[in-house]
Amino acid sequence: MEGPTGDDASLVQRLRHGDPRAFEDLVIAHQHRVFGVALRMLGNRAEAEDLAQEVFLRVHRAIGEFRGEAKLSTWLYAIASRLCLNRLTSGERRIAQHGDEALARVASAAHGPAEEAERSELETALHRAIGELTEDRRIVVVLRDLEGLSYEEIAEALELELGTVRSRLHRARMDLREKLERFLP
Amino acid sequence: MNCHDAREQFSALIDDALAADERAALDAHLATCADCRRELQRFRDTVALMGGAAPVRAPAGFVDRVLEAARPVPWHRRLLHAVFLPWPIKLPMEAAAIVLVSVGVAMVYRGSPELQQSARQEPTAALARRAVGEIPSEPRTLEPKAPESAPRVLYGTRDYAEREQAVRELEKAKEAARAREVDKGQEPGSLADKKQTETPAMAQSAPPPASGRLESGAAGSKAPAPSRDAELYKADVRQDRQAPVVGKLESSVPPTDRQRSEAKDVRPNVAQPAEKRADPLRAQRPASAPPSIASSAFAPPDVSGQLMVTNREHAIRGLKELVANVGGVETYRLDTSDGPIIEIAVRREKYGELNSGLAKLGRWQPNQEPSTPPSTIRVVVRITG
């Protein structure tokens, strides 16, 4: 991922002191990862943007609650994950019911129109397969295999036991292994 | 360690998250099991595929939008954003524009005697042709439109059953009125009586404007068949002409008023939406009912139904989210003691999703569904329980 995350401490400090540039720096540095999680989870660009914006607004309001024990990015992932899972479950909304259309949108969402034409069948299948996972497995595999968080960071972000993270990740990967069988060498 | 146990640890192995003893046991199993080695390779390949996924980037302008939303007094902006940015609002805005234009046209027209004068010419000719049977009389040609306008007028009634009942009654009244009018049309000189027998339903017929219709009517009365049409037509014209002037159909207009109103053309009424013409029906609405919103004033909903739920609050919240999730918009809401009535506009391709979502919120019983749905479907949901 990109963006300066090494100087979290100074950024947080500036945020707490109300430095108007600090919030902008935060959004610039973390926008893609927050949006990425939202998009993989929700499968809809508009909804993902709405949710990503909500994540940053919450951070803006609640920066005082950030104790600095975890990485700032982990805190952002935690907020984003929670909002995604709430949205997916509370409104009886399930990605699986969106059918092929929404899943195709997930697949195409990462690309511009030109690249989309060249997108491989594999890429489409991959995103579709992720979209078909159950929410609790999907969030773990997104954080681990797409966002590169460690087991410990995932456990912290999702407030789960390490063992639960491990088993959910494993189930998610097993599901994916079956779904992507024909693309394996 | 058996194969199942071994494979359960593949993820942790790949991520180097196994304790030393676990790792040793797994390695020992793999050394002796070719199947598991093959399976492990496929597992690794799968994870590698994930690693090859294209990175996602936030849309252009995202940072600016977040900063804008985070400004110190953002509530009204966020509200506007929430209400107006999603595309479905196009529908209500278009409808509102139509209402504004219609009202504007009516006002300009009524304020311009010269326009009214010029508008008189055409209807005279039309009526003359009608009197000699060239074109069918208005009440008949417009008849099929009446049921369509009824539900929208009754939109604010407390209950759909009531509403349907009212529509049926309206139909009956209209039938009766038509029958009476036909009878009366065959008796010359019954204009005065007709005044009392006119029912609100008569107002459903659209008003073909006419001046000089009395002359035509009188001329037509010499021949039986055209006479009936002319009389029918005349009755409607008078009825409609009164509407914009006095605002109520049932009020009797003194001769002087009527003469004055006859000087005006009925055109303004053409521009008025159905609710104007159906004024008497307004009395059936509860006093608290808000005026129909623009969209509902123009057509009945495409789908309406009852949603039986156990927890109304929960259902309302759920519905709100559902609407947001399918990219729809709540265009109208009426809170009654029996529960809210909510109108939703949703794109046709999202209707199935909305429908299944509703079924999850409670017992969803749509009682009408369009055979050929429009591109934007309007769904009225009555939440009960």
Q: Does pLDDT of B158 surpass 50?
A: no
> Chain A contacts of B6, Cβ < 8 Å?
none
Chain B residues with at least one Cβ partner in A under 8 Å: 8, 10-12, 15, 17, 42-43, 45-47, 49-59, 62-63, 65-67, 69-70, 86, 317-318, 321-322, 324-325, 327, 349, 353, 356-357, 360-361
Report the distance separating Cα A93 and Cα B356, nearest Å: 10
At A20 the pLDDT is 79
Q: What are the C-alpha distances in Å from B322 to residues A51, A83, B214?
A: 15, 16, 58
* A16-25, A51-60, B108-117, B306-315: least confidently modelled range: B108-117
Q: How confident is the model at residue A116 (pLDDT cuts 50, 70, 90)?
A: low
> Residue A37: is its pLDDT beyond 60?
yes
pLDDT at B255 over 80: no
Residue A66: what pLDDT? Answer: 81
Q: How many CA atoms lie within 13 A of B192 on its CB side?
A: 3
For the cut 50, the answer to whether the pLDDT of residue B152 exceeds it is no
Range with the poorest average pLDDT among A63-77, B8-22, B37-51, B90-104 = B90-104
pLDDT of the residue at B377? 84
User: Do residue A127 and residue B53 have CB atoms under 8 angstroms apart?
Assistant: yes
Average pLDDT over residues A92-103: 47
Helices within chain B (DSSP H only): 3-8, 10-14, 20-32, 34-51, 62-69, 75-84, 90-110, 113-131, 138-142, 146-153, 160-186, 191-197, 213-220, 224-246, 255-263, 267-271, 274-277, 279-282, 312-325, 348-361
The arithmetic mean of pLDDT across residues A36-56, rounded, is 91
Whether residue A57 and residue B70 make contact (CB cut-off 8 A), yes or no, is yes
* In chain B, % of residues over pLDDT 90: 12
Q: At what angle do helices A72-90 and A20-42 cross, to 10 degrees?
A: 40
For chains A and B, CB pairs below 8 A equal 128
Residues 6+ apart with CB under 8 A from B339: B312, B382, B383, B384, B385
User: Which residues in chain A have Cβ-Cβ distances shorter than 8 Å to B325?
Assistant: 47, 91, 93
pLDDT of residue B363: 86
Q: List CB contacts (< 8 A) between B43 and chain A.
A: 173-174, 177
At residue A144, does pLDDT exceed 50?
Answer: yes
ipTM above 0.95, yes or no: no
Mean pLDDT of A81-102: 67
Query: Any idea what DSSP says for residue B342?
Result: E
Closest alpha carbon within chain A to B12: A166
Residue B309 has pLDDT above 70, yes or no: yes
Across the interface, do B69 and A27 touch by the CB < 8 Å criterion?
no
For the ranges A38-42, A56-60, A93-97, B296-300, the lowest mean pLDDT is seen at A93-97
| Confidence bin at A151 (pLDDT 50/70/90) | very high
Q: What is the pLDDT of residue B181?
A: 58
Mean pLDDT confidence for B106-131: 67
Mean local confidence (pLDDT), B275-303: 48
Q: Which residue has the higher pLDDT, B293 or A46?
A: A46
Percentage of residues of chain A with pLDDT beyond 90:
48
| Chain A environment of B57 (Cβ under 8 Å) | 32, 35-36, 110
Give the tokens for residue B337: 């003691």
C-beta neighbour count of B224 within 10 angstroms: 11
Mean local confidence (pLDDT), A57-66: 85
pLDDT of B40 over the 90 cut: yes
pLDDT at A95 over 60: no
| Res B74 pLDDT > 80 | no
Confidence of residue B351 (pLDDT cuts 50, 70, 90): confident
Q: What is the per-residue pLDDT for B346?
A: 86
Q: How does pLDDT run across B200-251, given as a tens digit for each residue?
A: 444 444 444 444 444 444 444 444 444 454 444 444 444 444 444 443 444 4
Which range has the worst mean pLDDT, B52-61, B124-133, B285-294, B307-316?
A: B285-294
- Asked if B321 lies within 8 A of A93 by C-beta distance, the reply is yes
Distances (CA, A) of A20 to A14, A16, A25, A28, B60: 8, 10, 9, 13, 21
CB-nearest partner of A91 from B15, B46, B325: B325
Cβ neighbours of residue B349 under 8 Å, at least 6 residues apart? A101
Query: What pLDDT band is residue A50 in, cutting at 50, 70 and 90?
Result: very high
Give A 33-72 residues with CB within 8 A of chain B: 34-36, 39-40, 45-47, 49, 52-53, 56-57, 60
A169: nearest CB among B11, B49, B317 = B11
pLDDT band at B120 (very low <50, low <70, confident <90, very high): low
pLDDT over 70 percentage in chain B: 46
- pLDDT tier at B149 (50, 70, 90 boundaries)? very low
Instruction: Look at residue B200 in the predicted model and tell me its pLDDT.
Output: 45
**What is the DSSP pairing of strand B303-308 with strand B376-384?**
parallel
Mean of pLDDT over chain B:
66
Gap from A110 CA to chain B (nearest CA, Å)? 5
How distant, in Å, are the alpha carbons of A90, A103, B303, B307 from that of B327?
17, 16, 17, 20
Cβ-Cβ contacts under 8 Å, B54 against chain A: 110-111, 123
A94 touching B (Cβ < 8 Å) = no
What pLDDT was estimated at residue B83? Answer: 67
Residue A170 has pLDDT above 90, yes or no: yes
pLDDT at A38: 94
**Highest averaged pLDDT of the listed ranges A21-25, B68-72, B239-243:** A21-25
Q: Is pLDDT above 80 for A15? A: yes
With bands split at pLDDT 50, 70 and 90, how would you rate the model's confidence at A4? very low
Rounded distance, CA B375 to CA B351, Å? 10
A92, B63: Cβ pair inside 8 Å?
Answer: no
Collect all residues of chain A within an 8 Å Cβ-Cβ radius of residue B65. Answer: 49, 53
**B329-336: strand order across its sheet:** B329-336, B339-347, B376-384, B303-308, B363-368
How near does any CA of chain B get to the CA of A105, in Å? Answer: 13
One DSSP character per residue, B262-311 reads HHS-SHHHHHS-HHHHTHHHHTTS-TTPPPPPTGGGTS--SEEEEEE-S-
Q: Please tell me the least confidently modeled range out of A110-124, B97-111, B184-198.
A: B184-198
Buried b (16+ CB within 10 A) or exposed e, B191-203: eeebeeebbbbbb
pLDDT of A183 reads: 85
Which of B3-17, B70-84, B189-203 has the largest mean confidence?
Answer: B3-17
User: B248 or A149: whose pLDDT is higher?
Assistant: A149
